[in-house]
Each structure stands twice: as C-alpha cells, then as structure tokens.
Structure 1
Amino acid sequence: MRHDKGKTRRTTVSRRDVLKSAAAGAVVLGTSPFSFNIARAAGDPIKIGFPVPLTGPYGSEAKEQARCAQMAVDEFNAAGGMNGRMAELLVRDDKLKSGEAAKRAQELIENDGVHFVSGSLSASVQLAVNTICKDRGIPYVSISQSDAINEEKHFSKYTFHEAMNPHMTAGAVGRYVFPRENKRVAFLIADYAYGHEMARGFKRAGEEFGIEVVAEVKHPLATKDYSTFLPRIQAAKPDVLCLCNFGYDQMNSLKQATNFGMKERMRMVAPALLYNQRRAGGADAYSGVVGGTNFYWGIEDTVPTAKAFNDAYRKLNDGSPPSDYGAYGYAGVGGLLKAVSAAGTTDADAVVAALENLKYDLYKGQQYYRQCDHQSVQPVYIIESKDAGDQADEYDVFNVVYEETADEKMLRTCGELGHG
C-alpha cells in the first residue's frame, strides 16, 4: 500500500477556521471572493446545508465529513460549476441532538435558502433532518448509517441514503466472521437506534450459521466506564463479542475489554470499525479486531478513484490520508453535485430524477441508488486491525481481508421496508 436564527451573513473562512469555530455552530465554507463573483455573475450559489455534530462524542468524524464535503464543493467549482454557477457549503453543528438538528435544518432551508441538505452522523438525528427536508420538498442525502431511513414510514422521494446501513455492514461482517469462529455470540449494544440496528443485522446474518446468542448487554450513549457491563459478558463465555457501538463508545469499550483480558478468550468484532478511533485508541486496544467499513485508504492500489481521492486529500492535509466517514462527506456532496450537473438545474424534482439514474464512482468503485428506497448500493470492506509491529507507519492501521461486492442482495428487500 502507498503511504505517503436569523439570516446568516456570508463569510469566507478557511478549513481550519471551521474547526476552530465548531462550537459556535454556524459557519459557511468555501466561498472565495473570486468564486463568489463568478456565482453572482452566473446566478445565485448552489447552496448545500450540512448539519453534522462538530461538538460531542462524534466530533472527529464530523469534522472529517466537513473537510471532505468541502473538497467535493471545491472540485465542482474548479471544474466550472454548473454552467458557471458555483456551489457553497453551509456547515452547522447539530450537537448530536435531534431537536438541534431539526432546528438547524429548518434555519438552513428557511433563512439561508439552501437548495439541498446533506450530513448527519446519528441514526435518530438524520431522521429529524429528513422530516424537515421531506416536508419542505428539499432533497436530502444522508451520510450516517441507519436502517430506519430506508423504511417506508420515513422515506420520501427526496430522501437519499449515501451511507451504508447497519443491515449491510453488520451482515457483511457476520457473514465473514461467523463461519470462521465458534458459535457462542455476545452483544455489547449502545442503547439507541444505531446499536439496536447493528445487533439486528448481526443476528440475521447469524441465522445462516447457527449462532447462539449468550448475552445482550446494553449501555448508554457516551459511557466512559464499562466495568459494570463487561463482567456480564465475560460470565457468558462467548466465542465472539459484537461491539454494536460507535466512536468513543467503541474505543473506550475496546480499551477496557483489552484491560479485562477478554481478547484472549473471544474474538471481538465491530460492524463499523473506524479509522480515526483506531488511530486515537492505539494498536493494543484494537489489535486483531475485525470490522466493516465503507472505505479504507489502502484500497488505492487497486481502485483508481480511491487513489485520486487520497492524493487530493493528502495535498490539503499534510500528507495524511482521509478517513471512512470523511469519504461519506465527499461522496454525499459530490454525488449530489454530479446530479445537479446532470439535471442542469437546482430544481428539486429534476435533481431527484438525476440522482435516481446516477451511476457514480467517486472514491471506491461504482455506486448507484436503489430505486425503491434510494439506498446507495456499494461494496463493503472487511478489515482487521494490525498489531503495532506490523504497521509501516502511523496511517497503516488495517488489513483489508475481504470485499463484499456491491449487490442489492446485501440489502433488506423493498417489500420488507414497506415499499410496494
């Protein structure tokens, strides 16, 4: 692998400024005086609202999403925009709260006049944003994992889901791990929608392989001390522990499980194994852990668009490669802008039609949106965390051990979701 609300005043800021201003919760990205003058000459900017949790336990992932979404906007503008009409990214801090996210989305639409919305980093938060958008006829491209957003009760023609969903990721990891391990399986579940959806995906995949569920232990979001939860799992003596949590919850639970000596007695797996958290948590905590991901920079040796994405990111970020959730920000906004170009307009219905027919390869191979639920069909990568001694450098943290190729068979059927 290669290493190397009132109306908001339009303001020009740097990428570093957005991170410094995260707590303020309202910034506008990426409009240089030059590009703004072009936009004024060709028409109003194409505005994309981007609510993400810049503050809180998922802040590092959210800031990566904002960086990479801005890359997509910059590339679109550098290529001339849509007939000279430039794009503008408006980032807001939703603080990982559904009410806050709904308020920010409403302000973006009603005060700032955005044409489209992308973003979110929580299963429940994205549903709140989706409700605001579908009620107002604004196309929304979600970049957070969720099973529910594809279901008929939440879906509308304006709803698109760029991120993989828990059924895809947990299913792919389960299909890889369960045939290779003994069958006693325990679950540590973050007690909110994401955690429960991931556990459901694992269990469904496990039916084929005859797994026995020996423990299900739930913990609150943003738990720091797992000493009351882990002994209950140890007592059940599982062969596999499925960590159905995310971000700092995943990192903290893994560190403490390692300290408890649990890795010597069970295989630990995570449906979404995060690059940023692996780097922050260190090799000892993550060593040998198997998980799923939408993207790892190391696929650049075999996927040309991954190489192009990595190189563009490295130039802007001191040589470091992009993360998995950063890639979601890039693809969510980049795919939306491809549809705008194809439609030749910001008209919502025309862009929806363009998204429905879009075949796009931005960073990992070809993707497309399934017609019935607008779920992006895409490959799932199974990765295993490296030991410290096996790393070529600080960025070389995973081995890609398997690729489950893009196929609608990895999704719940349209009928299961309530469509038709």
Structure 2
Amino acid sequence: MMSATDAAGRAPAVTAEATERVFREEYGRAVAVLVRVFGDIDIAEEAVQDAFTTALERWPATGLPPSPAGWIITTGRNRAIDRLRREASRASRHAEAALLQARASPVEEDPVHDDRLRLIFTCCHPALAPAARVALTLRLLGGLSTAQVARAFLVAEPTMAQRLVRAKGKIRDARIPYRVPGQAELPDRLPAVLSVVYLILNEGYTAASGDRLVREDLCAEAVRLGRLLARLMPDEPEVLGLLALMLLTESRRPARTGPDGEMVVLAEQDRTLWDRDLIAEGQALVRQCLHRGRPGPYQIQAAISAVHSDAADAAATDWDQILRLYDRLTAIAPTPVVALNRAVAVAEVQGPGPALGLVDALAPALDQFRVLHAVRADLLRRLGRGAEAASAYEAAIASPGNAAETAFLRRRLRELPSL
C-alpha cells in the first residue's frame, strides 16, 4: 500500500486510472458495508459513487490514503448522512428511517461475519426473480457495470437496467432483511447464490470488455466468497464442488497470459506455471464430493478441471474421461454452453468433423457468444476449410469481448494458409 507522502514529504501522484482500480477492487465491499449501515441499496450505491467522485478530486493532491477502502466507506457514510439530514428536514420518512438505521448501526451475530456474504443472500431472496437475483448481486458485489451484467445474460443494456431497478425496489418495498438466512432457508437460496459466485468467477476469468484477458480482482473475490460459503455450508457438495472448480481454474491463471498480456490457450500453456497448491486443494475437494455420491453441475465441472490438471502436458489429457463427464453434465444441466464445451471434447475424441455439426446446431442459441464463433473457426481450420474458417474468425472478432481475446483471434486469422 502506498503511503500518504514520499521521502521528501510530498504526496505521491495518484492518477485517475489508479483511483478507478481502487473503485473496481473495493466497490463491492463498500456497498455491502453501507447497505448494512443504512438498510438501503440505493443509498449505499449513491454514497459509494459520491465517495469515488470525491476521491477523483482529492487523491491527486493528497495521495492515496493508508486504507483506501476505509476512506471510501467513511467518506460515503458521511456524505450520505449529510444528504439524509437535509432530506429528513423536508419530512421525508424514507430519509428519516435510513438516518435512524445509520445511527443505530447494530452489529449482527450472523454465522459468517461478512457484509458481502450478507448482501449476496439479501439479493438472492426468493421474492426476487432468479435472473434478477444473480444480476443484482453481480452489479453490487462484483462491481460490474450494467452493460457487463447485460452481456453476461445476453440481454440489452436498457432491459438489464430496468431489471436492476425493479429488483432493488422489491427489496426495499418488501423490507427484505439484510442477513444470512437460517439453516432451514439455506437450501432454497443456495442455487442462486452459487450462480452469483460462478458468474463473478467467469467475468474475472475472461473479462467481458477492456484491455486485459483476466480481472484478477474478481477471480480473487469469487474464490474468497466460495471459501466463505464452504465454511458456512460444509456439508453441501455443490458448495464444495464450486470451490473446487474455482481453485482449479485459478491455478491456471499464471499461464493464461504471456509477458505482454497476450492470451495463451490451454493446449499451449506452460504447465510449470500452474499453482500446484491450488491444484492439490481443488483435487482434494473433488475427491470429497465423489465420496458423497450426490453429483451436481459444479462438482462435475470440477471433476473435468481435475482431469485437465492431472495431465503433464496437453497430449496426455484424458479426453475420453472428459467426454464421459460432459455426457453426465449434459444429462443434468442441458444448456447450450455445456453442449458447446462438450463439442470441444468430441473434437478431441472423434475429430473436428463430428464436432462441427454439433457446434453448427448451437448457432441459433449462442450466436451472440464470441466463443461459439471462435470454436467453429478452429474446427474449420483443422478441417482445412480456410475460407470458412476466416469468416468464422471475423465473426468472432466482431463479437463483444476483451482486447486480449481480439488480438489472439486476429493472430489466428493471420496464420491461416493463404487462400
């Protein structure tokens, strides 16, 4: 952490980019704390936005504070209280209630003392539609923009904005409590919570936009939340399965990009860079899940990742076992994305021809996904159908995604044999 002054007593320069990085890293924590303080999501979000606006004005002159997160939370809380006092003086009952909540600020004795986890369960209340639960938590906890959440759900940004407004209004109007639910309520709330954590990991693993392939902050947040859930619900196999999947996925992160941030596909990664401690922990969790005999989608995906992590190099990968696992996953979670991933395994076992037919059948459902066009382009390349591969690469390049992916796809396009 930077100190407030340098050796000469001057405040180090803080760029707008550095402040925005703090915003991305601390947004979820700050919102979660202020939701507890004020009991209102909109007030908390506005308070955090006000604090970051102030940071952009002050930090270039004063330097980064010793605890940026603490500064943001304190500044946001003070600004919100000032605003609520003004509104309460105009007989705003809502402002008075929020002000009373802030003054009381009770310490709740929940099973897990973590504001972000409490906020996840609040957003995943059964009173909200399933898609709204996941979208709202991604927005509040992951710090994703409305546009990024919209892309995750393959809907238009205005549609997602309306969905988020309705969800927050429902929480406020129904007075949904801000707490981790009791043991009897946990099973019904768990699937949406796991979806939230999984989608945070997905956004971190492959960023929806921006220059970088990976958002390390979101990857770390997903793993942290997964560990908290595992502590809260140690007897739930799907919780352990999701944590295992995240650990095994995170173990490969150091090898997924080159020195200049370029994307490196799985088959070409330097496996000596994989984190063996995370692999050992993830594989141990997979074994625990297998012993329980209650397979679910996250456990099967974790088992697939474990097979990859067992291979010393790409050629040693047991694709037959991976395909069998995808068959099991398809039986219990028959989604287009699962079918696309299964087609990749089919290509390794049966060849690119059979896999291409499977991918083409998925085009109507996944046409907006860059990965569909990228997989199709690779299969066409392997079949020697250069002109069609070029068109598929161009379609992938034109689809939304981050700059690292785009650069990789352009390189693949350039490497196609001359027509």
TM-score of Structure 1 vs Structure 2, range by shorter chain = under 0.3
**Which structure has more strand as a fraction of its residues?**
1
- Give the TM-score, by structure 2 length: 0.24
- Give the TM-score, by structure 1 length: 0.24
Which structure's relative contact order is higher, taking Cα pairs within 8 Å and 6+ residues apart? Answer: 1
Which structure has the larger Rg over C-alpha atoms? 2
**Which structure has more helix as a fraction of its residues?**
2
